[in-house]
Structure 1
Amino acid sequence: MTVIALGAFALSTAACGPTTPADPATGSATTSAATSPATTPTERPTTPTAKPTPTKQPTNKASTPTAKPTKTAKPSEPRPEPVVVILRPGDSGPKVRAMQARLKQIGWFSGDVSNNYGSRTTEAIRGFQRKRGFPVTGVTDERTYNRILSMTRMPTEDELNNVKPVAPQPSAAAWDVDKRCLTGRVICISKSTRSLTWVIDGEAQYSMAVRFGSEAEPTREGVFGITWKKVDVISNLYHTPMPYSMFFSGGQAIHYSGDFARNGYNGSSHGCVNVRNMTLLKRLYNAAPVGTKVVVHW
């Protein structure tokens, strides 16, 4: 009987669900933590941790601080060398004279040289310095002095003592001397040497080759004077140009001839004195005013 009762109880409990067995120590029912839904903690989903939003760097380059470059120590600049003065205004002596003579050789000093470093020397040095981009002081420092020495030669005794060189005299072939050409300013024309020489007080200055008229139209000889002159002249008879004409005897004149320049003595003029060196003729034209003496001789 006892067995049956236990079996019915067991069936009853099976239909109604599991029964919590009594705790043998306390006699109270215990709930299984593994099977009781009421006491089983509900496992909540883990909330993902939000990732930190990266901070955007400013795109404006101008506002972005940049690392300052490391300053490099500048090398110390060399100190300028002191200016060594060789000669200065107020100095005197043979060294000043020699420097003036050297400046005269290269056209920076005019007049007689002396021992005194005055205003003329100062201005000459200033002009020399300015031309070469040196500091313009008028004081002859070492740099200026060395440049002058490099451009000149040792002055001669004549240069140091203001002895003017004697101008070389033209050869006999260039100037056939006529005694009528030895006084005053004279245009001396020689038919024998076919040359014209500009003479001042018996000293020939320069000569040029000339051509004369033919036997039918000879160039007249004698002593004349320039009656009138003109740069641009056209011959009334032959309609040819006669540049830089200086008329001395009627229609006969000293003038430039293109034909003489081209053909030389293979031809003749119509009585005029033809010149083929335009440069020397211009020089003579400017030096000889109306009234200048002209001598035409053999």
Structure 2
Amino acid sequence: MHRHWLVLTLALAVALTLGHLVAKPTGGAGLASRASQMPKTQGAAEEQRDTEKAQAIHRVRQAEETPFYSCSCEQDEVIRPVRPYPSGADIAGLQTYLASFGFDPGPVDGVYGPLTAAAVAAFQRSRGLEPDGVLGPRTWIALGRTVASPVAQAPVPPPPGRVEIVIDTVDRTLTVLSDGKPYKRFPCAVGKPSTPSPQGQWKVVSKGAWSGGFGTRWMGLDVPWGKYGIHGTNKPWYIGDAVSGGCIRMFNHDVELIFDWVEIGTPVVICGNPFGPLRNPRRELGPGERGTDVLAAQRRLRMLGFDPGPENGMYEEPTANAVKAFQQSRGLRVTGVVTPDTYDALGLYLFE
């Protein structure tokens, strides 16, 4: 425990230093589940109403005035065992998860066929749901609540001191601090290498009881170039992986627990990316791009005497002009776009 606390202390120091030094998320493909409608029983009609309600809430959220990027966790889709059978990584994860609780889905092949549907029906029956083998909103919610992580199985009192959060994207853990000391640690899922979780110091600026792809709770962060947050998931088999569009996913039981501990304004530090603020591979940066790599370029430009405008992680005209001036001063091709040679000239290298 002492060693892990030392690591957290160092991680926190690195993240704080990142604020002064330099060193479009894309959603996962949707499941192919738009098959022909099955005859509706009363339960199926209720599922359809739940689906329409969830989709309406999702559309309202997307229509809200939000910054540029939004969390790419998609709305849970209704999946039916109708040919051509839906398939994909989500279903493979579901099959593994069902098998771990004694519901045999057959081969873990990522295909939602009759055997997987029968396992889902058995799961539904065990949870008092209509055993129709259809993955609808109520079944997704039941899956999300199937098991608490080991941390959340016993009652946990609130932290006695000031609450802060440290998220380590390498260990894929979220640690709640109380007066600067570790209080509870939880497993989590983090951003993919192509859509990393935003490193830096943030604050919680919004909270809500949500549903669908966001699980049961949402805590939004003040990342200036997008809508990122800490939230639950109805696909618990992904906890511990780097799979999100940048958000931090937790077991629903865990996010519900810390939701009551976290107030608006709670500090959140995200650290641990072995490549620092950059993506691997380094992407070209030009007008319209946003992220920690843009922020790193802005900070390095300012350090070198070139004004990029606001240091906000958004690649706008002032940043492009500063890049052009920097490129001209270094004898590089003047494009206003950060390419590998410009990264190198700025001193922004990948490191491990």
TM-score bin, normalised by smaller chain: 0.3 to 0.5
Task: Output the TM-score relative to the length of structure 2.
Answer: 0.31
Task: Output the TM-score relative to the length of structure 1.
Answer: 0.37
| Larger Cα-atom Rg | 1
Larger fraction in helix: 2
